[in-house]
Structure 1
């Protein structure tokens, strides 16, 4: 019998269990995996934990989810890992996860002594906490009814696009763009127009104005303040100009607030939403970047009348105690002190990674010092062979995503988004050397270790 590693997070245990089921599944015909609720009961973990494990498997291409049918093993996934990752890992937040579990255990004890409708209470309290968190003033406020919850970002976007009848329409995105968002738009048969950012992360306002005036754009997806993977904070001037452009066009603005809390100096006081028409404003966020993988839930703030019905119809089954525990953490601002430490750690890792790359590659790489995030957006002055890169970095704490993940139009072929999740600079240097060897083997030149 396989045993979980000591200290391993619950979702990783469920993930490894599902991997074993996939490996043992017959080769012929479709194979359905256990439902969220059945696996939650069997393994004695929360629904959110099971959902996190399935999300990871889906991101890796090992399983696929069919609406109202469940999860099935992908034909190509049996016996092999996906050759190309789709999302870099996020740093673990053990302190926040312990706080989350502590709240959840206390709530579970309370549930034993009452008959409260916990599913409704958990959802209502979390939506209220989010509305209060985003409220800025008496003229810029949100209500609990304006907040909708989903198990993750892809499910949220799928439901949102259907609710607004935007499927198959034209959408304008800030590029490079979050791969999760791009894949969701592609699945909804959206026509995606990309507006590349300049080296400082600001959008081309002339291109935006031209496309809004000449194309049937129905939605624009823009970062709230931090554009990823460049890690650059969009300048207030550009945010204000975007708001003025949108005021002349009846276009939905989906503000991507997934990464804002990773700004090294903290999120700026003003965001894109401060310049947008509230009647056309949607704000998308998630808990995973702050709390960790045990809180994969995503949320959107927007006009209640248009979204509430669609989200109610989907009837997402979210773990009620975890929702209520998250609401209590938000209400008590328990994440704030940890966020300071998280940002400091992210910045330190990125600086170490940039130094190691500059030592090894010199002028053969171009990188901009980020202002937030965990990734370093690197342009190489040579062709990139992804298969060799993936093999070279396998098993190391240095993770890479190909630049082509961040565009649907073939951009960024010589870019990598690099993320270092380790602690020891010696191991980092060894991983960078292996990366250099993989690149130089393609060019037919030997590689040495930089001094």
Structure 2
């Protein structure tokens, strides 16, 4: 970079991301703020802002009087006691590996380029001398756009002050659990459950009770009712529309009954809306349609829909707004004001809805391609139910096979899968795996499916 530009911090951020991705998995010391500023010919404040973004994402951390350091990444093959989840994603990042384990819809079609185009236009409207003031809860335009997007009627509406933005899903979920004083409590979750959700609940020292979904995506209602009567449950954390990674869509009547039981007991419902708009069924029932509005918190993230240039996450909550405000003020997230305004423009212009229509169509197409390959090459090894949406397929072995062993065998062939054990804290789903169809289809996906089937056959 030869000169300072309004996007200098983004260029520094990308430079550091690439440096971190290419660096050793062990802890590394980063250049000092001043040294990096001199190297890249930008201001120290620009490098400090870029470092701050990486720190909020958990990629780096600061040591007093020593500088910034990268957080160690588990090195594949070097730590046999490393958690399965960490090993899967460490291997998936290695060059030359074919990762059949991703869950990113925007990998097929992103809005990154339109987002950056809108941002460039906004920079001309908001020159540096007139830059908007820092907003601790997120930019007003984006909070307003989200409130409007979630409003459905005169009785089911949201206001901008009930929307809060943060750097990523991990951060906003951790902050929300803290603000609602739910740390150390008991939670109900659907099972299989997102590994990111399970890890965050574990970090909050929350005891998790898993409710297994049947093949149709339904809970055992009798068992659920007994659990609610027996256990001191404080929150239920559930997918908004389709379950991820299971891919099923729970009937509206079941959601309504569960919300009625939660409301009777004053239990908080935390609705994960990260995949809420990737359902192939028009107007699917959502938990928030039936939940107690004063015991409801909805959270989601932009990166699944827009792409990696929009890593922000957000929560909507009507109850306990004062607590959330206090915690967001104390946390002081550092988010790009112009980037948030650009996301708001995409939402308000209808561009996101047009994109969603295209993306859902592309997801259906790629899902069909993967189903054809599985039917041709792995029909005797795997049972796959057509999902109601999303970016992945949930598959079960036709005979008892430990998918963790299949995963280990496939690593030697350059293929990474996501064993079902990753999606449970209680050792469930050992004979299952999650397969992505948001892949680079220029690669030999058919060959990978054949090797998967062969390894399943060879695993005792």
> Is structure 2 residue 236 aligned with structure 1 residue 220?
yes
Aligned to 1:22: 24
What secondary structure is seen at the aligned counterpart in 2 of 1:119? Answer: coil
Q: Is the 8 A contact 1:221 1:253 kept in 2?
A: yes
Q: Is the 8 A contact 1:12 1:53 kept in 2?
A: no
> Is structure 2 residue 254 aligned with structure 1 residue 241?
no
Q: Distance in 2 between matches of 1:440 and 1:113?
A: 62
What secondary structure is seen at the aligned counterpart in 1 of 2:107? Answer: coil
Aligned to 2:411: 390
Query: What is the number of equivalent residue pairs in this alignment?
Result: 420
Q: Distance in 2 between matches of 1:328 and 1:40?
A: 32
TM-score with structure 2 length normalisation? 0.82
RMSD: 3.4
TM-score with structure 1 length normalisation? 0.83
Q: Distance in 2 between matches of 1:185 and 1:371?
A: 26
Q: Is the 8 A contact 2:272 2:300 kept in 1?
A: yes
Q: Is the 8 A contact 2:126 2:132 kept in 1?
A: no
1:117 to partner: Cα distance: 2.5
Unpaired runs of 5+ residues, structure 1, are: 1-8, 444-451
Q: Distance in 1 between matches of 2:254 and 2:38?
A: 50
Deviations for 1:183-232, whole angstroms, at most 9, x for unmatched residues? 00011111000001111112222222211111111100111111011211
Q: Distance in 2 between matches of 1:198 and 1:226?
A: 14
What secondary structure is seen at the aligned counterpart in 1 of 2:70? Answer: strand
Aligned to 2:98: none
Aligned to 1:446: none
Unpaired runs of 5+ residues, structure 2, are: 1-9, 80-85, 91-100
Q: Distance in 2 between matches of 1:260 and 1:147?
A: 17
Q: Distance in 1 between matches of 2:304 and 2:34?
A: 25
Aligned to 1:88: 102
1:243 to partner: Cα distance: 1.6
1:250 to partner: Cα distance: 1.0
Aligned to 2:310: 295
Q: 1:342 aligns with which of 359, 369, 373?
A: 359
Going from structure 1 to structure 2, the CA distance change for 1:165 and 1:19 (only over 3 Å counts) comes to: same
Q: Distance in 2 between matches of 1:103 and 1:210?
A: 52
Q: Distance in 2 between matches of 1:37 and 1:370?
A: 51
1:127 to partner: Cα distance: 1.0
Q: Distance in 2 between matches of 1:103 and 1:363?
A: 50
Q: Is the 8 A contact 1:403 1:414 kept in 2?
A: yes
> Is structure 2 residue 144 aligned with structure 1 residue 142?
no
What secondary structure is seen at the aligned counterpart in 2 of 1:85? Answer: helix
Q: Is the 8 A contact 2:370 2:437 kept in 1?
A: yes
